[in-house]
Chains A and B, each alone.
Chain A
């Protein structure tokens, strides 16, 4: 069964999702790909700055901070709906 999709920014801290698409400018897309944001890769919401923005995402062993305005345009397939501390 196809799991539901959501923008990365909607995921709770500790939740995971598999990257489906990025609707961002080509330059930013390439930069994120270089950092490991590739289709099919699992992303974990690892933490955040004060007030919940920017947030830190763990991708392929690296931790990358992104603002909500960027994370909103990254669509993930939910793999784990509950946070597991």
Chain B
């Protein structure tokens, strides 16, 4: 397709013709005139599934920050774009919405930001509206709402590549004339149209003349207007993608659908264990070698003790799980970006409905197997407030990656590996699977009880748009992993490091002759002994007690804690942690500890996120109390019933 872009007075320093690969791009508008003022804040808005986030990532790359709008639970990303002249623009990624009629919280937030009523956020000078060009008439409704605001706007018709592939077409020039704003045909995935978007961002433009608009609150009127706009621009809607139909005939097949679904869930687990475990082991060996080398540079004393026994050992034993976490997010990312996760929600809906939930809860709950924090954040896609709350409350029962270090360590220490089903399934794998099942069963029971009591009600509407199947892009997956990896490192780097240092201090102080004193006289031992009567019924000793205390910061911290405690104990200093544990704990107590960890809400981050998402301390407090009591009771039973 030839370049259909007459240079306009408003397209700034860069001629759109400079982009020789762009097809059908356009920057024009009789009302778009240079006004000598550069944009400093630009909002990006678009309906869900319009590729808005991909475009945002494409524009800002890694220069973005996640935050929360004050007072509400809606999240936003703010990114920076720097022009070659040095001018920087802050780009705000608004929540995905279909219209600006302030019905939902997302819509209210978007409206507040656009009208400059959001505290701590400057009013955007301009708006980029990203719509899916393959669903133009449906998405033009949002465009109407944005244009009516009267701020400079750029309409990005995204997914131009799909539009053309599927035989659709649109006359951007005519559409821009009809709308009175610049319009650009773009593809966030392959970069088409990006030069034109940049040209809009770094050009100074005046506000467009108010457009003759339909009655904005009349959905039908809006849609008729949108259809008229489309017709004027000779919009030809693409055929529904052939591949999506073909794949759906398998993935949503009466028989094959559930089979593929189960295979997917099993596959996700298989990958995290058979690929993730060796990766973690290799990383652990690397960290240990580096620690030993590092130790050579320091003489014996307080500093060496702090660095090696405190910081390195503690953080290292948590960092080794980074490969597994990234791997799981990679798998979930592929499922989500490819479009399969929406089909999985449809397949899971009937089953989820039995627990009183809906298919959309499946996506957050599956993510909860990686980490409850993003899972709880992902519950935003659930419209039903009750289902959302129920999902938030049960998500921490799913076996998250932070439990894996604890499970792996204790299973390796206490369960003798014997084959059960050939080489593929042994006793250790069975123990791990049992813990997964345990968490899941309790989650379902809890959901059922919640929905039958506190959260009783009939507002569970399952309305889910099926995106077409797409090939996940490396850039999008990479950014997601980076985002998650950073979040995990941040936790490992701050919360856990702080806890580790405090704990090391507890084990090292009071000092004797300027050096760490013997462990039995340390502050940690005193704290642990003080709580021993409370945990003795579970078979736990004071060291486990200290571990339970520190793991409230984050579950995996117990490994670092026990590592530090046993490392400081002369009796077990020469042993590795599994041997030291076997030496010190009964198998029944080990099982009780695993059960305790399956149920307890030992995670500061989760508590903080639940507070933020429910906007109250009531729910996280109830949840923490419920989960801890359940954990105590179940661990008590496990300890006493163990043969």
Contact = CB atoms under 8 A, between A and B. Distances in A.
Nearest to B168: A61
B246 interface: no
A49 B240 contact: no
Contacts of A65: 342, 345-346, 349, 359, 462-466
Nearest to A67: B462
Interface in B131-163: 134-135, 137-138, 141
Contacts of A64: 463-466
A66 B462 contact: yes
Interface centre among A49, A62, A63 (most CB of B within 10 A): A49
Nearest to A60: B138
A38 B220 contact: yes
Interface stretch (B97-105, B318-326, B541-549): B97-105
Contacts of B358: 67
B240 A58 contact: yes
Contact of A38 (B98, B223, B353, B464): B223
B219 A34 contact: yes
A4 interface: no
Contacts of B237: 61
A30 B254 CA distance: 31
Given A28-B461, A38-B223, A67 B349 contact: yes
A26 B258 CA distance: 34
A53 interface: yes
Nearest to A64: B465
Interface residues of A, number: 30
Contacts of B353: 67
Contact of B346 (A27, A36, A49, A60): A49
Interface string A13-53: 00000000000000110111111101100000011111101
Interface string B254-283: 100110000000000000000000000000
Contacts, number: 99
Given A36-B138, A50-B254, A62 B350 contact: no
B463 A66 contact: yes
Interface centre among A33, A34, A48, A67 (most CB of B within 10 A): A34
A6 interface: no
Given A34-B141, A56-B346, A61-B134, A47 B248 contact: yes
A29 B643 CA distance: 58
Contacts of B464: 54, 64-65
B347 interface: yes
Interface string B80-109: 000000000000000000110101000000
A63 B103 contact: no
A65 B346 CA distance: 7
A53 B252 CA distance: 11
A38 B222 CA distance: 11
Interface centre among B134, B135, B347, B464 (most CB of A within 10 A): B464
Contacts of B101: 30
A70 B252 contact: no
A65 B252 CA distance: 12
Contacts of A27: 103
Contacts of A61: 134-135, 138, 237-238, 240
25 contacts: A31-B98, A33-B219, A34-B99, A35-B98, A35-B138, A35-B463, A36-B138, A38-B220, A46-B248, A50-B257, A50-B350, A54-B349, A54-B359, A56-B346, A61-B138, A61-B240, A62-B135, A62-B465, A63-B466, A64-B465, A65-B342, A65-B359, A65-B463, A67-B349, A70-B462
Given A38-B223, A47-B248, 12 more contacts: A27-B103, A30-B219, A35-B465, A49-B350, A50-B350, A51-B350, A64-B466, A65-B462, A65-B465, A66-B462, A67-B349, A67-B358
Interface of A: 27-28, 30-36, 38-39, 46-51, 53-54, 56, 58, 60-67, 70
Interface of B: 98-99, 101, 103, 134-135, 137-138, 141, 219-220, 223, 237-238, 240, 248-249, 252, 254, 257-258, 342, 345-347, 349-350, 353, 358-359, 383, 461-466
